[in-house]
Amino acid sequence: MGNIEELIARLAQDTAAVKPVPHPYMLSLQWMGWAMAYLAVSLMFSGLRPDLMSKLHEPLFVAELAALVGIFVATSLSASLLSFPDMHQLRRVAFAPVITFALFVAVMFIAWQADNPPAPLPTHSFECTMGITLVSLLPAAWIFYVMRKFASTHSHLAGCCALLFAFSIGAIWLRLYEVNDSVIHVIEWHYLPMIAFGMAGLWLGKVMLKW
């Protein structure tokens, strides 16, 4: 009991004015702002796919992009909420990625059904995963660096959302850059690796977001 009193006295002496971190919605907006700027710079270097304008008239391509952007937004929001010990008391919002993933899976399923006869597979395969990974590495490192300054009590989930957020940037970049119409290829070499990295985030979160 005496130790507790001593500790309280010591902590109270140590205290100085502390600026509370922004609301998670603001935080998420900031993160998305930085991520979009990074995406724009990446696309400036790589260039856009030449058939992008015509692809934007295809409802399924637009739906796929929208679902991907949905994952990007939801995971950013969720990662910011999960950075707070109490999820800023917005527990339900923190699970938004579940809904966006369900929508994404539905869109990809419809796109796969509609891909008949299937579009020819591109000659490359794992290069796409490599490209996504390379583009996503910087945002992944950055988001973990930022999140370490918080105090997550759900470090597994926070890590998962952080990596999904980072890899969704890579996935959006590749979809806007690569000329490719094969849904199978996109699922196999773009989205499944993205989800696999997200799962690796469960472990990475535990390791990196300790406090």
Partner 1 sequence: MTDKTDHLAALMRQSLKGDQLAYAQLLQETSRFLRPFLAKRLSFTNQVDDLLQEILLSIHKARHTYDGNRPYKPWVYAIAKFRLQDYLRAYYSDQLHHADDLSEMENYLHENVTESAISYESISGEVEKLPQKQATILQLMHQEGYTAKEVAEKLGMNESAVKVAAHRAYKILRQKLEK
What residues make contact with partner 1 under the rule CB under 8 A? 1, 3-4, 7-9, 11-21, 23, 83-89, 150-151, 153, 211
CB of 100 to partner 1, least distance (A): 25
CB of 173 to partner 1, least distance (A): 32
Nearer to partner 1, 26 or 40 (CB): 26
CB of 102 to partner 1, least distance (A): 27
Nearer to partner 1, 6 or 51 (CB): 6
Nearer to partner 1, 22 or 59 (CB): 22
The amino acid at residue 211 is: W
- Burial of 142-163, coded b for 16+ CB within 10 Å and e otherwise, reads bbbebbeebebebbbbbbbbbb
CB of 12 to partner 1, least distance (A): 4
Using CA atoms, how far apart are residues 186 and 6, in angstroms rounded to an integer? Answer: 60
The DSSP call for residue 88 is G
Omega before residue 117 within 30° of 0, cis: yes
Length of the chain: 211
The DSSP call for residue 209 is T
Taking residue 34's Cβ as centre, other Cβ atoms within 10 Å add up to 14
CB of 70 to partner 1, least distance (A): 27
Considering only CA atoms, which of 15, 18, 40, 34 is closest in space to residue 146?
Answer: 34
Nearer to partner 1, 13 or 123 (CB): 13
The amino acid at residue 6 is: E
Nearer to partner 1, 33 or 85 (CB): 85
